[in-house]
Amino acid sequence: MTADFELQSPPDAHRIERRKRARSTPIRAQIIKYLASNGASKVADISSGIAFSRDCVRYHLAALESASIVRSDISPEARGRCTPFYALAPGIAVTGA
């Protein structure tokens, strides 16, 4: 007899829960949809596209990046010297885009 569900290890379950929480904020959903439609973008472009301040977008991008939903082409340590581009991480499904 087979089960209708898969058992998940605690790290997998934690990662899934973190991704759900990260997507639950409306602005984060807008950022995800923007990146899905426009591809890799700078904070300024995302900010203009969704009509939120750059600081607000940076804050939410950091949360999405820590949840492995979004990735940057530049490491956090180098961001003061270069402008990062953000994109959806490989394998991220966009619902309702």
Q: Are 66 and 81 in contact (CB under 8 A)?
A: no
Q: What is the pTM of this model?
A: 0.74
Residue 1 pLDDT: 47
Q: 6-60 pLDDT, tens per residue?
A: 555 566 666 666 667 766 789 999 999 999 999 999 999 999 999 999 999 999 9
C-alpha 65/C-alpha 3 separation (Å) is 33
Q: Are 23 and 69 in contact (CB under 8 A)?
A: yes
Residue 97 pLDDT: 46
The one-character DSSP state at 34 is H
Residue 37 pLDDT: 95
